[in-house]
Amino acid sequence: MSTRFIQSEPVCLNCFCDLSDGLSLIDLFRKEDVLCGYCRKQIKVLRRTFSVLDFQVFAYYEYESFFEKMIFQVKESKDVSLAPVFLYPFIASLRKQCIDKTLILVPSSLKKTKSRGFDALRLFYQGLGYEMSCPFEKDDVKQSERNGSQRSRIKNHIRLIHPEMIIDKDILLIDDVCTTGYSLKACIDLLKPHAKSIKIVVLALHPEHLKSDSSLKSEYSCK
């Protein structure tokens, strides 16, 4: 174990280098991050709203190789210490958007959550300090292992089992990654008959959705 860990000095949660590594002079005067400058700069920030299928989704990052590697580290390698790094720079602004909202999680299968031993999506957004609920039930299917046609039928594997949680509520629907958008759409279609309004926020958006001129300037303008 290095001297830094023995002394409990703050280090980058990804590469374990000094947090000041890769920072400019201006960066040094900003709020201290949990990633060093080099790691933070490798994540491609979007922080915009995009049109996906027939809805709008606000995304913080592009789902590229570095982001994918880090989120895999959390979800599959069970490195839960990395979970806060994604929202860390934006937690204050997102917290404001949560006021008077009911936070709803896109579901994972119960089997997958049990095998991990933790709810990864809940961990990513835990820093908000708001209560989060999941009124859905999802069958044990993994979208990443399905082709496009199969992914579009995910709606057949997600059910709204607790509509009382969202009746006449202003919903903030949250997920980690939007790839095809079909899981989000399935949830939105189930929520629409009951909810007062729905906004969607994800950590990252697949670059396929960035190819069109569908981005919107205003934050959280999804309806």
> Which residue type, as a one-letter code, is found at position 117?
G
Q: What pTM value is reported for the model?
A: 0.86
List the CATH code of the domain at 43-216: 3.40.50
Please give the Cα distance from 191 to 189 (Å, whole number).
6
Domain boundaries defined on the chain: 7-42, 43-216
Q: What digits encode the pLDDT tens for the residues 123-163?
A: 999 999 999 999 999 998 765 555 556 667 888 989 999 99
Query: Are 184 and 121 spatial neighbours (Cβ–Cβ below 8 Å)?
Result: no
SS3 assignment for 114-161:
HHHCCCHHHHHCHHHCCCEECCEEECCCCHHHCCHHHHCCHHHHEEEC
**Cα–Cα distance measured from residue 57 to residue 177, given in angstroms and rounded to the nearest whole number:** 11
Supply the pLDDT for residue 160. 96
Structure tokens at 55: 């809805």
Instruction: Give tens-digit pLDDT for 34-64.
Output: 999 999 999 999 999 999 999 999 999 999 9
Q: What pLDDT, on a 0 to 100 scale, did the predictor assign at position 23?
A: 84
